[in-house]
Amino acid sequence: QGRIEIRGLQKVYASAKTQFEALRDIDLTIAENEFLTILGPSGCGKSTLLRIVAGLEDPTGGELTVDGDAIIGPGADRGMVFQGYTLFPWLTVRENIEYGPKLKGVPTLVRRGLSSHWLKIIRLESFAKSYPKQLSGGMKQRVAIARALANRPKVLLMDEPFGALDAQTKLEMQEMLLEVWEREKTTVLFITHDIDEAIFLSQRIVVMGANPGRIIREFQVELPNERT
């Protein structure tokens, strides 16, 4: 579960006077449970690509599927964590995590078990009743990751999720993300312009170039034996 196929993806932003080709001929397959990072300079179309996979924006051409199903609009099969992706400020940390399951009608007690499980993984058990404004930036992103994954998406879409954090917090978050990914075995499509981050996190790195946004390189990252 969680195989993404992108074929001949095109995106042209058009206004009355101008046309801008943001993505040209993107072909990409992301395997089940793969951690793939898209790396590229600012403006090469990374966010556009991710928003299209998220279903937040329509392509002007091409085909996209998750496990063979065409992507039409946002869906619970795709969880999202973005840099400035705000938590619901009027909900507590626990309520934020339970939000998706609650919408789906998961019973209260099951939801409780689920949020407790995630609070433990993100090490915020003592903040269950806190509100987002009482948390640091790193803590908020931990909750955002838990909220996305508590909804059991097949795919986790992350757009520079740690871009606003200081170096130390960023490293802690990257380690936590790998731990969670290894345990949950979800497909991750991660976007960054930070090459160190891409190398640290990914199994595979796809490099994009700008004008027009397109794929120009691809690398497989070798992992030490104990981590596959």
- HSE on the CB side for 166, CA within 13 Å? 5
Query: Which range touches ligand ADP (CB under 6 A), out of 112-120, 162-170, 178-186, 195-203?
Result: 112-120
Tokens of 227: 């981590």
Q: Closest distance between ligand ADP and the C-beta of residue 193, in Å?
A: 7
Residues 6+ apart with CB under 8 A from 223: 203
Q: Closest distance between ligand ADP and the C-beta of residue 30, in Å?
A: 18
Q: Closest distance between ligand ADP and the C-beta of residue 100, in Å?
A: 6
Residue among 176, 182, 174 nearest 198 (CA):
174
Query: Which range touches ligand ADP (CB under 6 A), out of 39-47, 85-93, 141-149, 168-176?
Result: 39-47
Q: Closest distance between ligand ADP and the C-beta of residue 146, in Å?
A: 12
Q: According to the binding rule CB under 6 A, does residue 43 interact with ligand ADP?
A: yes
Dist. CA 164–CA 204, nearest whole Å: 24
Dist. CA 220–CA 17, nearest whole Å: 41
Query: Which range touches ligand ADP (CB under 6 A), out of 65-73, 101-109, 174-182, 219-227?
Result: 101-109
Alpha helix positions (H), the chain: 46-54, 93-103, 108-121, 137-150, 167-184, 195-201
Q: Closest distance between ligand ADP and the C-beta of residue 66, in Å?
A: 17
- Residues in 124-153 at the binding interface with ligand ADP, rule: CB under 6 A: 151-152
Task: Provide the total of helices (H) and of strands (E) in the chain, helices listed first.
Answer: 6, 10
Q: According to the binding rule CB under 6 A, does residue 59 interact with ligand ADP?
A: no
- Can you give the binding site for ligand ADP, defined by CB under 6 A? 13, 20, 22, 40, 42-48, 101, 104, 106, 110, 113-114, 117, 151-152, 213
